[in-house]
Structures are given as C-alpha cells and as structure tokens.
Amino acid sequence: LNLENELRIALDKGQFHVVYQPIVGAESGTLAGIEALLRWNHPRRGLLYPADFMEVAQQSGLIVRMDEYTLAAACRQMKGWKDGLGWNVPVSVNLCLHPEWRGRLADKVSELLAASGLHADQLVVEFTENRVFQNLDETLHILKSLRLLGVRILLDDFGTGFSSFTHLKKLPIDGLKIDRTFVKDIPHGLKDSAITASTVTLAKQLHMRVVAEGVETEEQLQYLKQIGCGEIQGYIVSKPETAGVIASRFR
C-alpha cells in the first residue's frame, strides 16, 4: 500500500486527531492563542507528524480533506472550551491554500463557525509560502474571502519562503510567525538575531501581530522580550498536547 492510499484509508477510518499548542504573551505569559496541529495514528508505524505525510497529502490533493478535518475538529474544540471554561481564545488552524478550495473555503468555514455558534474573529488561519502557493491572485482571492468573514490570517514560517515581502505587501495578513529556524540561535547567532529583531520591527510598523515559534530557553525568551516581540510559542511554554491537557494547564 502506498502512502497516498494509506492516507485515503486513514481519512475514512478516522485515524487522525488534533493536538493543541498554546501561544502566550511574551511579557504576560497569558494565553493569546492556541494552534491546532494534525497527528496521524498509523496502525503499524505509530504516531506520525505532518512532516511524515504532508508532501504526499499536498501532491494528491488529499490535504483538502485533511484540512477540513482539522478545521472541523478545531471549531468543535473551540465550542467545548467556550461552553466549558468560558474561553474565547483564538484558535489557529494551518491551511494549505490548495486550488481546490477556490470558491469553497469561505463557505465551509462559515458553515463550521455557524454550527459551533462561534464568531469568525476567534478563528485564525495560518498559511505558509510553499509549493502549492503558486498563484498570487488565487491566494489573494481565497484570503480575501476569509478576511471578509472576519477570520484572522497569520503568515507562518515567515522568512523561509519566496518573495515574502511581496506577499506582505499584497495579501491581507494580520500577523507573522517567525520561523523556528531563526529563533533557535538567538541571541548568540548574529544573523538570526538581526533577522528576528528586524521581523519584529517590520511587524510593528505594519501593525501586525508577531509570534516567535520554537522558543525553548529562558535566554531566547529574554531576548525576545528585549526586542519587543509580542507573543511566543514553543516548548518553554508547552509542547502540543491534547485539548484536555491544555484546559487543565491554563484554566
């Protein structure tokens, strides 16, 4: 069985689940958001991460069904947190802006939000500048339709893709996530520190949120506070966990 067929079966048999990683204020440490991350419980190979299957998922187009699954699960969970704990924390979902979503994504999103009785501004879509991100006009169209609903948009892995500045200029973006590869070597790596600090300044001047990803050490956190980075995410706060663990940790 090849991976594509295994993915198809996994979708039909419900072998996926979603884990959640908090995003907190760099200074306050309080919950600023929660990112939903997809996991595959493979019957033979055990727990698989997106890196293990995203390539095939994108090439085959199955990513659209997988993203729909994550989106629905995240909306259900948001409703659960709201009803159970009174939380109104924005939840981020990573979406692949696949051409197959054209004219369909905003309808799907508003349907899921309505079914959960949620406001659109509680949902955040994270997207990356990857291979599928070929056509700027198409991407603009999809993002505009989400923005029109009131959904917030974050540009993930900022700085690692192609023509990031053109995207910043042309697309409706509410915030940037500084990629983990830059955060890893701050404050000692001079290039990484310069890139991180400049990105924070850039986000501020564009009136955008800025989230540093992959923060693991106190030293990294101190530097991020010093340069005025608004929000952080990473093992220093929490690994991705089940919804129940996140609830017990932050309530």
Preceding peptide of 172 cis, ω within 30° = no
240 binds, among ligand G, Na ion, Mn ion, none (CB under 5 to 8 A by kind): ligand G
Q: Which stretch binds ligand G (CB under 6 A): 6-14, 48-56, 142-150, 193-201?
A: 48-56
- Phi–psi pair at 217, nearest 5 degrees: -120, 160
* Residue among 87, 173, 172, 84 at smallest CA distance from 122: 87
Tell me how far apart the alpha carbons of residues 242 and 22 are, in angstroms, rounded to a whole number: 11
Nearer to ligand G, 63 or 123 (CB): 63
220 binds, among ligand G, Na ion, Mn ion, none (CB under 5 to 8 A by kind): none
Smallest gap from Cβ 148 to Mn ion, in A, equals: 25
Nearer to Na ion, 94 or 238 (CB): 94
Smallest gap from Cβ 156 to Na ion, in A, equals: 4
Closest residue by beta carbon to Mn ion? 156
How many residues of this chain interact with ligand G, rule: CB under 6 A? 23
* DSSP string computed for 33-91: EEEEEEEEEETTTEEE-HHHHHHHHHHHSTHHHHHHHHHHHHHHHHHHHHHHH-----E
129 binds, among Mn ion, ligand G, Na ion, none (CB under 5 to 8 A by kind): none
The amino acid at 84: G
- What distances in angstroms separate CA 44 from CA 3, 21, 48, 120, 197, one per listed residue? 12, 26, 10, 38, 44
Print the binding letters for residues 145-174 with ligand G: x by CB under 6 A, - otherwise. Answer: -----------xx-----------------
List binders of Na ion among 62-121 (CB under 5 A).
94
Tell me how far apart the alpha carbons of residues 137 and 134 are, in angstroms, rounded to a whole number: 9
Under a CB-based contact definition with an 8 Å cutoff, are residues 97 and 133 in contact?
Answer: yes
1 binds, among Na ion, Mn ion, ligand G, none (CB under 5 to 8 A by kind): none
Nearer to Na ion, 6 or 67 (CB): 67
Asked if 6 touches Na ion (CB under 5 A), the answer is no
List binders of ligand G among 8-37 (CB under 6 A).
21, 37
Handedness of CA 105, 110, 115, 120 (dihedral sign): positive
Asked if 70 touches ligand G (CB under 6 A), the answer is yes
Nearer to ligand G, 85 or 177 (CB): 177
Closest residue by beta carbon to ligand G? 234
Nearer to Mn ion, 92 or 139 (CB): 92
User: Which residues does residue 108 pair with via DSSP β-bridges, in sequence order?
Assistant: none
Tell me how far apart the alpha carbons of residues 115 and 109 are, in angstroms, rounded to a whole number: 10
Site residues for Na ion per CB under 5 A: 94, 126, 156
Site residues for ligand G per CB under 6 A: 21, 37-38, 49-51, 63, 67, 70, 94-96, 128, 156-157, 180, 213-216, 234-235, 240
